[in-house]
Structure 1
Amino acid sequence: MPRMGLQERRTEQRREQRQALRERILDVSREIVKREGFASLSMRKLAEAIDYSPAALYLHFRSRGEIARALRMEGHARLRETFLAYTTIADPAARLNAMARAYVEFGLTEPETYRLMFMEPAGLAETAADAGDSTAEPGAATLLLIADAFVELRAADRLPPHAAPTACAEGLWANLHGIVALKLNSASLPETPVATLVELSLDAWFAPANRTEPRGTEPRSNSANRPDTSTR
């Protein structure tokens, strides 16, 4: 293998230094967002925190919005990695239950990251996105993992006939987002355990398609299709 020349070594060192500074910018930005929220992040505050000039930051990120996009992409990647860990669960209902609880746990343990991902104006984090860039929809790959489980439920005749897997995945995601948003923004809500809220969100998907109950009676439990989801 040929030895690297002096000019090549210098080029490589500069590349490594630029990458190290970029990572440092993101690390400090992430900490500011987690501690104070995205609204508190500014290029000037960030420059002061890492002891660099604002001009140096602009060599790596053209705006606060580009930093938001990078942090948002990181958050989606972490959420997808969490979901991937559950794809080995054979039963699709049990897999959905695990993913649903992991989603809510992610939102409640990293509230400011979650707000940046799902509750800040979309344009804030899209300033660096090209119209044709597939990463412009970072949640699509995660949604597909949810939809795959619904496809398996449909194949096993465990969904109502009219329920399209993709629509079911979007509906479940909307339910889970509602749980997280209410917990984050409504301190006055009754302290219903999160596991119970997730269980109620999943009940509709696993109920028999044509079940009817006499008026005034309690619905029957369909525990055969769901794992035990007692509060941890």
Structure 2
Amino acid sequence: MGISERKEREREEMKTMITTAAMKMFLEDGYAKTSIRNIADAIEYSPGTIYLYYKDKDELLFEVQAQAYLKLLAAFKQNVTSTDLLERLEQLGKTYVSFGLANPELYDLMFIIRAPTNVDKEVHGDNGHDTLTYTISLIEECIQAGLLIFKDVNQAALQIWSMAHGLVSLNLRCRLKVMIPEEASVPEILHKAIEEYLLSIRA
């Protein structure tokens, strides 16, 4: 291995160490309460070391969000397996809901906390692009097969995503208590809501 390859490997290892510590602290202590100094202390480096890789906490959050989207994409690929297109779409919706219910703090970092606005996307890429592309591709297949009432795939993706996101967000903020009995299974009820919604938009 040459010097440049070794330096690049060491750089990636350091970035992984930083983002791993940052995600742990964001989840346990909250984004607002976590500082660059806190993260530096956790990995036993100076704050200046972190600034060599990330210009501020927003940029670090953006990187942590990117890793979270990859976790969601992996869940999609693991659970969306049916050969029937509409069943696959249902599996995708239920997987999204289950992911949010099982990872409430992570979901908050991904979709509820105010997104960083000063991140150079040309350097760091577009957060969640592969996850969104996966979702849109499946919806597009359903539309092309004449299985959904939508003509515009982006409009369809927006509505379906909004439905699933609304269910998860309402539950995470304890707004579903008035509609769901205490003894009821929240995942089962939210999965049923996904089923009913997808039935309503079938062609």
Q: TM-score, normalised by structure 1?
A: 0.73
Which residue number corresponds to residue 174 of structure 1?
A: 162
State the 1:140 CA deviation.
Answer: 3.9
Note the 1:77-226 alignment, pairs <5 A. 77-86=70-79, 88-122=81-115, 124=116, 126-130=117-121, 135-136=125-126, 138-160=127-149, 163-186=151-174, 189=177, 190=180, 191=182, 192=184, 193-207=186-200
Rounded to whole Å, the distance in 2 between the matches of 1:197 and 1:149 is 21
- Structure 1 or 2, whichever has the larger Rg, is 1
The number of equivalent residue pairs is 198
State the 1:98 CA deviation.
Answer: 1.3
Rounded to whole Å, the distance in 1 between the matches of 2:176 and 2:20 is 33
The superposition leaves residues 24-52 of structure 1 with CA deviations (integer Å, 9 ceiling, x where unpaired) of 11111111112122112211111111111
State the 1:13 CA deviation.
Answer: 4.4
The superposition leaves residues 171-228 of structure 1 with CA deviations (integer Å, 9 ceiling, x where unpaired) of 1110111111111111661355223223223324324868xxxxxxxxxxxxxxxxxx
Rounded to whole Å, the distance in 1 between the matches of 2:171 and 2:67 is 23
Structure 1 residues 197 and 27, CA gap change in structure 2 (3 angstroms): same
Is structure 2 residue 54 aligned with structure 1 residue 61?
yes
Q: TM-score, normalised by structure 2?
A: 0.82
| Stretch of structure 1 that moved more, 162-171 or 53-62 | 162-171
Structure 1 residues 187 and 63, CA gap change in structure 2 (3 angstroms): same
Rounded to whole Å, the distance in 2 between the matches of 1:180 and 1:204 is 15
Q: Give the 3-state SS of the residue equivalent to 2:53 in structure 1.
A: coil
Rounded to whole Å, the distance in 2 between the matches of 1:107 and 1:208 is 23
Rounded to whole Å, the distance in 2 between the matches of 1:106 and 1:112 is 11
State the 1:121 CA deviation.
Answer: 1.5
Percent of aligned pairs with the same residue? Answer: 25
Letter in 2 for 1:168: A
Rounded to whole Å, the distance in 1 between the matches of 2:114 and 2:6 is 38
Indicate the structure with greater helix content.
2
State the 1:86 CA deviation.
Answer: 4.3
State the 1:87 CA deviation.
Answer: 5.0
Which residue number corresponds to residue 229 of structure 1?
A: none
Consecutive unaligned residues in structure 2, runs of 5 or more: none
Rounded to whole Å, the distance in 2 between the matches of 1:155 and 1:16 is 44
Structure 1 residues 185 and 168, CA gap change in structure 2 (3 angstroms): same
